[in-house]
């Protein structure tokens, strides 16, 4: 069925719906939709099968071949043509994007994460900064993680800042939300019934074990804690080992997204072989 097309000249209900999705977390959760803009994020969302419910654009600004093709092939329910000043108000960019999409949130079913013998799962406990969450999603995607799970009272996975920091990797990497450690423990138990024992490691600056001395050539779960409070007690008990990233200088700790990226890089280096990994970069 072809999208329904409307022209909007004022801040009507259709305009306000997209605007509130951009600015209000509770409305995003209620409607299970979020706002997306930019060529790369929209291309990746489409490539990976995310459902776009509507597109907002302005013919008066002129349309590139890319935008024209996207709209021509669109399976969205609604196309909303805005006046240029309305598109500018809806956009989060200094130079408004050609297309702004309203995208449906996928479910948080664990089945979205592929369970294989080379499992590499990241669990992020109560992330407190959307930029850190988005950056870690990007690193997980780049360095071969199977998926990322975020738990507890945390920032919004679909906050515009999270999406921006992920640079589109959110649409490629299975990323799901779970209430807390008990749910993760139950799921990991099911995984172990399928593929056998898991190595569950936690980053801990006080650990006596060094990250590059560990053997990651087995199914691995990496636990990362909240930026301020670290891992909860339940996750610390769940870990089969802790490890640290050695540092020099005056820094007392690393940003959690940086620490997670270093760990993921070491895991990939080990699994692919150092020489092969260098050749493929």
Range of the domain at 97: 4-104
pLDDT band at 276 (very low <50, low <70, confident <90, very high): low
- The percent of residues in the chain predicted with pLDDT above 70, rounded, is 96
- For 227, the token pair is 């930026």
Together in a domain, 114 and 95: no
CATH of the domain at 265: 3.40.1280.10
pLDDT at residue number 214: 85
The label of the residue with tokens 């803009």 reads 37
Q: Are residues 89 and 226 in the same domain?
A: no
Mean pLDDT of the chain: 91
- For residue 212, pLDDT beyond 80: yes
Q: Where does a domain end: 72, 87, 104?
A: 104
Determine contact, residues 173/147, Cβ cutoff 8 Å.
Answer: yes
Task: Select the more confidently predicted residue: 226 or 150.
Answer: 150
Same domain, 211 and 192: yes
Q: Is the pLDDT of residue 2 over 90?
A: no
Check whether residue 124 and residue 185 sit in a common domain: yes
pLDDT given at position 122:
98
Smallest CA-to-CA distance from 124 within 149, 142, 159 is with 149
Instruction: Give the integer Cα–Cα distance in Å for 249 and 186.
Output: 41
* Whether residues 76 and 181 fall in one domain: no
**Same structural domain, 155 and 222:** yes
Write down which residue in 104, 132, 152 finishes a domain: 104
Q: What is the mean pLDDT of residues 163-184?
A: 96
Count of structural domains within the chain: 2
Residue 210 and residue 133 share a domain:
yes
pLDDT digits (tens, 9 = 90+) for 103-146: 999 999 999 999 999 999 999 999 999 999 999 999 999 999 99
- In this structure, are 213 and 262 located in the same domain? yes
Residue 76 has pLDDT above 80, yes or no: yes
pLDDT for 257 equals 94
pLDDT digits (tens, 9 = 90+) for 6-59: 999 999 999 999 999 999 999 999 999 999 999 999 999 999 999 999 999 998
């Amino acid at each position: 069925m072809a999208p329904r097309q409307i022209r909007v000249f004022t801040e009507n209900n259709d305009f306000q719906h997209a605007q509130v999705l951009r600015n209000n977390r509770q409305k995003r959760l209620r409607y299970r939709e979020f706002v997306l803009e930019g060529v790369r994020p929209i291309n990746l969302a489409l490539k990976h099968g995310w459902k776009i419910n509507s597109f907002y654009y302005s013919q008066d600004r002129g349309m590139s071949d890319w935008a024209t093709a996207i709209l021509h092939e669109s399976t969205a329910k609604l196309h909303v043509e805005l006046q240029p000043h309305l598109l500018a108000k809806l956009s989060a960019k200094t130079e408004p994007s050609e297309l702004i999409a309203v995208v449906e949130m996928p479910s948080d079913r664990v089945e979205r994460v592929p369970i294989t013998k080379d499992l590499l799962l990241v669990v992020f406990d109560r992330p407190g900064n959307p930029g850190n969450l988005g950056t870690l999603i990007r690193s997980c995607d780049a360095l071969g993680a199977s998926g990322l799970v975020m738990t507890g009272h945390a920032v919004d996975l679909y906050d515009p800042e999270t999406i921006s920091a992920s640079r589109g990797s959110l649409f490629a990497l299975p990323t799901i939300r779970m209430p807390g450690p008990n749910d993760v423990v139950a799921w990991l138990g099911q995984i172990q019934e399928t593929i056998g024992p898991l190595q569950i490691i936690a980053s801990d600056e006080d650990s006596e074990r060094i990250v590059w001395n560990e053997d990651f050539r087995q199914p691995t779960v990496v636990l990362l804690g909240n930026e301020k409070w670290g891992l909860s007690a339940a996750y610390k008990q769940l870990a089969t080992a802790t490890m640290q990233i050695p540092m020099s200088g005056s820094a007392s700790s690393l940003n959690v997204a940086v620490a997670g990226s270093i760990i993921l890089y070491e895991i990939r280096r080990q699994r692919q072989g150092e020489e092969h990994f260098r050749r493929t970069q």
